[in-house]
Structure 1
């Protein structure tokens, strides 16, 4: 990490007209964003939320989900028509929303809706019996995710959050987290979109069966192989989106449980290829990310604690869609604005000693 820039940023933050550290997390965010953009005067341009949607073969069995698979397509149509929570929050905070068909089991071509067609397939296969996708499909999804973010960056976006929609995708996220951390499946298995106690136990048993079948605990999993075995097209595409966003020095907000699982895969890939980092010395993709909130989904708080990161919000939400990232976006603006616009003790003619006393 460039010590001179970090010291400059910290000096600017410390000598604003406030007691030392009085703006709390906003000061940490301002410092992080300055390091991401490698400047003492960071800016937020054309912030976006990108929601990736995909179906999961396991959802057709009904063993891990309370809602039928058809809800994925129905919710994508709801996003496109502006009726979901993420639409409300994006309008409220003046964010541009993009919805991506990564692999929904539905043909949107006949619908006059604004959805980016990046479909890899009509849902993944059932990983209870076979791999969810091929290695080639996982790679294709990652590249499409990168391409979408690359285009948004070319159009002027430098701040982005990712969301998802896919019935059954908390199960994929659970398996990914368990495989990467080595912690038991049950630690990350939650109620998803509303399972009762009996359904939750059935989900735990099913996922343990999948974990054992694919030997997720005994293999030195390559991240793309892990994606292919138990991932989803929307998770794979989001993985690529994270990688490109970090490569483009964008401010990246991580949403909830599934978005964090995709970030974990992206981090494993990032550490493997060791790309040039915007802040030299940052060996982890995690260092470039701002964690928006703690989901109420079981396991999300555990994985955030495991990663050693502190989210900005704790609202007991478990909706996905990028809603946590959208709600956290005003805090990003606030951090950048105080850094750029708040007076210093010197410029305001305020005594440092008096202000701190």
Structure 2
């Protein structure tokens, strides 16, 4: 698709000179070299993304305002009985996000971030002034019987995410997180992982919302049927996304590519968000440089997803909720890293002897 190629062309490599300047600054601070571990790595990477480690005033500079983009969509594969929760939960939880009552709302308020809730394909008519409507259609098709969506629909969803981030960046947002909601989306994400990373459904599929052993085995069997029915081309990530993904997953692919094109850090949440990140990485390898992995989910395939992308999580909290909760929690760590590099005294300024 021409529009996807245009997005790829807008993504540039990290700024090596800015990263070298950040490293020199980090090495001049009153601490042993490298002693702040991942905080230093994050500060250096953010400098490479944005072109500078100097953050400026609060709410300005390279970080600016913060947003977690929670994309929602329903999945036709729920017809196969792969979830512990009914599909009606998707619009109900979207309403909860809009009312400010979900876990991601609580953590976003704590982080001083905005929750942007987007309807990408919920199986309900939703009307709320705070809802961003980018609905492709009411849920994907049952991918156990054929493609979840057409390639054109997948590209349309990617475009929606890309343009959404562009609009937010124009409003001064500079730090983004991915979030999602969609009953059945761990099955779609497991199928994406299985094909793109070349691993079996028994390793890719987890227990999602908390299914029992029998349903877990059934979920693996459904994923095998899905892959057999669609025969996606692992060398064509848009083909894999269209056949096995979801509208909210495709939208998040666009969010990630959009953040990279705007040279903004994008904090990746859990299993579903990481499936979107893997697709984005295969579409545009340079986009990986703009990703920060937040946490390691308890969903069994998450570690394999991060490994396939080449990311390491900042925290291990045994979380498996989704919504963007782990990513928003890590906004604090990203900001802490930038405060360290900007506000900590150097050996010279503090009059401390350097070893």
Q: Which residue of 2 aligns with 1:138?
A: 154
Partner of 1:305: 307
Match for residue 51 of structure 1?
Answer: 70
Q: Does the 8 Å CA contact 1:60/1:68 hold for their aligned counterparts?
A: no
The answer as to 2:347 corresponding to 1:345 is yes
2: CA distance between counterparts of 1:220 and 1:335? 37
Deviation at 1:9, TM superposition (A): 1.4
Task: Tell me the SS of whatever aligns to 1:343.
Answer: coil
Q: Is the 8 A contact 1:81 1:113 kept in 2?
A: no
Corresponding residue for 2:87? 69
- SS of 1:315's partner is coil
Map of 1:31 onto structure 2:
44
Shift of 1:118: 0.6
Taking a change above 3 Å as real, the CA distance of residues 239 and 3 of structure 1, as seen in their structure-2 partners, is closer
Following superposition of structure 1 onto structure 2, how do residues 239-254 of structure 1 map, counting pairs within 5 Å?
239-254=253-268
Residue 2 of structure 1, CA deviation: 5.1
Match of 1:22 in 2: 35
Distance of aligned partners of 1:54 and 1:3 in 2 relative to their CA distance in 1, 3 Å threshold: closer
Deviation at 1:33, TM superposition (A): 0.5
- Report the CA distance between 1:233 and its aligned residue: 0.4
1:255 alignment counterpart = 269
Do structure 1's residue 91 and structure 2's residue 109 form an aligned pair?
yes
Does the C-alpha gap of structure 1 residues 4 and 233 become closer, same or farther in structure 2, counting only changes over 3 Å? closer
Say which of 185, 203, 227 aligns to 2:219.
Answer: 203
1:137–1:306 distance in 2 versus 1, CA, 3 Å: closer
Deviations 1:1-23 (A, max 9, x none): 65543322111101101122121
Could you say what the CA RMSD is over the residues aligned between the two structures, in angstroms?
A: 1.3
Q: TM-score, normalised by structure 2?
A: 0.92
Q: Deviations over 1:109-158 (max 9, x none)?
A: 3xx45110110000000011111111111111111111110100000011
Q: Which residue of 2 aligns with 1:41?
A: 54
Q: Is the 8 A contact 1:60 1:69 kept in 2?
A: no
- Which residue matches 1:82? 100
Q: Distance in 2 between matches of 1:297 and 1:99?
A: 24
Counting matched residue pairs gives 336
Unaligned 5+ runs, structure 2: 1-13, 56-61
Gap change, CA 1:167 and 1:2, over 3 Å in 2: closer
Distance 1:2 1:151 in 2: 24
Give distance in 2, aligned partners of 1:296 and 1:312: 14
Unaligned runs of 5+ in 1: 272-283
What does residue range 202-221 of structure 1 map to in structure 2 within 5 Å? Answer: 202-216=218-232, 219-221=233-235
For the residues of structure 2 that align with 1:295 and 1:29, how far apart are their CA atoms?
20
Aligned to 1:223: 237
Q: Which residue of 1 aligns with 2:178?
A: 162
Query: More displaced, 256-265 or 299-308?
Result: 299-308
Tell me the residue number matched to 1:276.
none
Deviation at 1:351, TM superposition (A): 0.8
Distance 1:3 1:168 in 2: 41
Any conservation in 1 of the 2:72–2:182 contact (CA below 8 Å)?
yes
Structure 2 contact 108–114 (Cα < 8 Å) conserved? yes
Whole-Å Cα distance in 1 between the matches of residues 328 and 19 of structure 2?
28
The one of 189, 194, 200 equivalent to 1:173 is 189
